[in-house]
Amino acid sequence: DQQVKQNSPSLSVQEGRISILNCDYTNSMFDYFLWYKKYPAEGPTFLISISSIKDKNEDGRFTVFLNKSAKHLSLHIVPSQPGDSAVYFCAARTGANNLFFGTGTRLTVIP
Amino acid sequence: DAGVIQSPRHEVTEMGQEVTLRCKPISGHDYLFWYRQTMMRGLELLIYFNNNVPIDDSGMPEDRFSAKMPNASFSTLKIQPSEPRDSAVYFCASVSGADEQFFGPGTRLTVL
């Protein structure tokens, strides 16, 4: 059973606008959340993370928001750029090192 | 460092054949993970090792799958016999401690 869910398989956004990617989880024991970005024919690369003791983490154009009561997190990219077009995976872990991944959201930024 | 290295990058085989995927983790990393990516289930953890010892293999789908890590710089994932439903992209990742995992480029497996 999927403990991490990304219900939107794809998202298209105009260049310069905000991209919002969503992720839901079911396991309340998750204490650390990550976003990975994946280009075709490459492995996923780490983008940004957030600990469960925080509700927001920002890194340049990327911000991750965590709503623990709703078991929901989101990744905001602003402004979106064509180079951001990729598949984005949400992941979560408990105290151990193994990650639980969502199915991914394909973001297309239209120039 | 060259990053996580996987070979082959592409593998096409016929049903019933043995397939061996290889991974060289980043030097100094003490955890190694094998994942499988499919459209339906995204990235699934198959097995992971800590200091060359398998810690959790609950994600290995069937007895046809096996993984080994004979030393800190090499791991294999073997499928014997292979089936068409095993077609997927297989990723290896490594990490030191509780840091973020670094992924290899993946092996695209096609079983005809």
Q: pLDDT tens across B11-60, in order? A: 999 999 999 999 999 999 999 999 999 888 889 999 999 999 999 999 99
Stretch B1-8: mean pLDDT: 90
CB atoms within 10 A of CB B18: 11
Tell me whether residues A6 and B40 touch, CB distance under 8 A: no
Residue B100, pLDDT > 90, answer: no
**Shortest Cα distance from A17 to chain B (angstroms)?**
27
Q: Which of A44, A49, A102 sits opposite B103 (nearest CB)?
A: A44
Please tell me the distance from the alpha carbon of residue B1 to that of residue B28, in angstroms, as a whole number.
Answer: 10
What pLDDT does residue A97 have? 72
For chain A, which residues score pLDDT lower than 50? Answer: none
Residues of chain A in contact with residue B91, where contact means CB-CB under 8 angstroms, are 43-44
Number of cross-chain residue pairs from A and B with Cβ atoms under 8 Å apart: 54
pLDDT above 70 as % of chain B: 98
Tell me whether residues B100 and A34 touch, CB distance under 8 A: yes
pLDDT band at B1 (very low <50, low <70, confident <90, very high): low
- Does B102 lie at the interface with A, CB-CB under 8 angstroms? yes
Helix and strand tally (H, E) in chain B? 0, 11
Tell me whether residues B103 and A101 touch, CB distance under 8 A: no
Supply φ then ψ for residue A98, to 5 degrees.
Answer: -75, 135
Strand pairing category for A45-51 and A32-38: antiparallel
- Does B49 lie at the interface with A, CB-CB under 8 angstroms? no
Please tell me what DSSP assigns to residue A16: T
Please tell me the distance from the alpha carbon of residue B78 to that of residue A95, in angstroms, as a whole number.
Answer: 29
- C-alpha closest to that of B28 among B96, B99, B104, B98: B96
